[in-house]
Amino acid sequence: MERTLKQKRCLLHPAAAIAIGCALGLTGLDAAENVEAAIESVRRVGTDGQGFDDALPAAQQLQQLPAEKITQVLDGAKEVNPIAENWIRGIVFGIAQKSGSPDLAVLKAYVNDQAKNAIGRGIAMELIQREDSQVAQGMLSDLLNDPSLAIREMAVEQAIGNAEALAEDQADAAIGIYRDALTAARHPKQLSRIVESLGKLGEAVTTADAFSLILDWKSIAPFDNEGGVGYAAVYAPEKQFASAGQIDLSQKHDGKAGEIAWQDVAGSNDEGLVNLADAYNKEKGAVAYLFAEFDSPEQQDAQARLGCINANKVWVNGEEVMATEVYHSGSMLDQYVAPFELKKGKNTILLKICQNEQEESWAQRWEFQFRITDPTGKGLESGN
């Protein structure tokens, strides 16, 4: 589908968009009357171009602010979407470039104030890194467990670099740093790098352990998915779970080619990958249901995180939290993320993983990885 000019504009980096706006003579059009109104215009920018025409002149106005107003712009990053976040980042760096070096003491105070919004604190930390890398390094050494995911990621990255520098001559020290970084890390790529680095130093840490992947499942398959009919079909386990939030694992059901029963399947000990193709003899045009229980010590906000190359649906306690009808377009840890609430005590999980009928070698995978995390991405363990 061809994008309109407005849709194309929203994909630009904010600095590029502002430059284009100037070239088109947009400066000053619909300009906000004050700083707060201008910030609000930028906050409303989103995907597919919505809000762009208001955000562009507002951003032009905000970039003319003096450096001492940077924190006011950072305050505007509270709970914004990624598009608006990128605009605010561009504005903040634009102000710093136009007005000269900002006051590092003010930026440090902003970063250290955890009452400030997490996105704004992260942008402030990025600016400190650009202005004075040594100051940033000193700060990040104490911020491994910061509640801002952006700051935590920067701190973990620094720790990984420190460990890499020590790995050859001071392996024990490097292992200690990697271990601390492993506990703090939330980003899948960083976690994977740490696991790999520890392995090279003789420390056995699996991806399954590091990510708290759920390995033990009950599974029933195959149900029919020829012609893609199974994704929308409501087979007996799905109907039962939706009505009761529970599964009778002793019950057999009519499957694709006869009666089928629940059986044990497990994820691999290294990557936590549940291979349904192996479990069901590379069946094509099929649906599998997976059931597990998860014990939470308290009621808490959580996220379901699924890596899956097949079409899928996820329910927790009878409620659908995720649905993606895509086949063989790639897979990675935490590919799909959905928020939900864990109950105190036993929670029930049902997955629906659909395999299509493609015969190409790259379309043979029928598999998934699944975990439950807190809202920051920290893996949660059942019973803990």
Give the CATH number for residue 239: 2.60.120
Do 226 and 296 share a domain, yes or no?
A: yes
381 within domain boundaries: no
pLDDT at 384: 66
**What pLDDT shows up at residue 100?**
82
Examine the domain organization and report whether 79 and 190 are in the same domain.
Answer: no
Residues 220, 329 within the same domain: yes
Pair (223, 192) in one structural domain: no
The domain boundary residue, chosen from 120, 137, 154: 137
pTM for this model (two decimals):
0.76
Give the residue ranges of the chain where pLDDT is below 50: 1-12, 16-32
270 and 255 in a common domain: yes
In a domain, 383, yes or no: no
Tokens representing 149 are 């995911």
Three-state DSSP at 225 gives coil
Is 315 part of any domain?
yes
What is the pLDDT, as a whole number, of residue 14?
Answer: 52
Residue 133: in which H helix or E strand, if any?
A: helix 133-140
166 lies in the same domain as 237: no
Q: What is the DSSP letter of 328?
A: S
Which of these three, 205, 226, 247, is where a domain ends? 205
Instruction: Give me the phi and psi of 274, to 5 degrees please.
Output: -95, 115
Is 263 contained in some domain?
A: yes
Same domain, residue pair 368 and 220: yes
Hey, CA dihedral for 40, 46, 50, 53, is it positive or negative? positive
Q: Is residue 21 part of a domain?
A: yes
Half-sphere exposure of 351 (CA within 13 A, CB side): 29
Q: Is residue 210 part of a domain?
A: no
* Helices 104-112, 133-140: crossing angle, 10 deg rounding: 20
Tally of domains in the chain = 3
8 Å CB contact between 110 and 77: no
| Whether residue 285 is found in the same domain as residue 155 | no
Are 19 and 64 contained in the same domain?
A: yes
Q: Which of 88, 161, 157, 162 is nearest to 127 (CA)?
A: 88
At residue 72's C-alpha, the angle toward residues 69 and 78, to 5°, is: 155
- Cβ-based neighbour number of residue 257 at 10 Å: 10
The pairing of strands 345-355 and 336-342 is: unpaired
Q: Residue 25's pLDDT is what?
A: 36
CA 202 from centroid of its chain's CA atoms: 29
Name 22's Cβ contacts closer than 8 Å, sequence gap at least 6. 60
Residue ranges making up the domain that contains 151? 141-205
Residue 149 exposed, middle or buried by CB count within 10 Å (0-12, 13-18, 19+): middle
Q: Residue 120's closest CA among 83, 88, 151, 77?
A: 77
Q: Are residues 170 and 298 in the same domain?
A: no
The answer to the question of residue 199 being in a domain is: yes
Among 205, 227, 249, which residue terminates a domain?
Answer: 205
If asked whether residues 223 and 362 sit together in one domain, one would say: yes
In a domain, 73, yes or no: yes
From the number of C-beta atoms within 10 Å of its C-beta (0-12, 13-18, 19+), residue 211 rates as: buried
Q: Is the domain of 42 the same as that of 127?
A: yes
Which of 47, 56, 55 lies closest to 11, judged by CA?
A: 47
